[in-house]
Amino acid sequence: MLSETLYGWYSLNAYNNNEPEYTYINISGQKTLCTITSYEKICPYSSENLLYKDAVFVGELNYQC
């Protein structure tokens, strides 16, 4: 069974505005915090979105903890 690659981003602004934060394991086996995930390697929110304007790419993810 093939699985799609999941990519993650983190936005401190979103977290500070009570958006949920999720813990994933990245492809290096490290715990990684994300506030946004996507199956495409581009952030699903534009830089004009005030809640997620500070989102930074945190990498490729394997699974959620």
pLDDT at 37: 95
Q: By residue range, what is the domain housing residue 38?
A: 6-64
Number of domains in the chain: 1
With respect to residue 13, please indicate whether it lies within any of the assigned structural domains. yes
pLDDT at 3: 62
Q: Average pLDDT for residues 31-39, to the nearest whole number? A: 96
| Backbone torsion region of residue 59, taken as left when φ is above 0, otherwise alpha when ψ lies between -120 and 50, otherwise beta | left
With respect to residue 25, please indicate whether it lies within any of the assigned structural domains. yes
Query: pLDDT digits over 7-24, tens only?
Result: 999 999 999 999 999 999
With respect to residue 56, please indicate whether it lies within any of the assigned structural domains. yes
* pTM for this prediction: 0.86
With respect to residue 1, please indicate whether it lies within any of the assigned structural domains. no
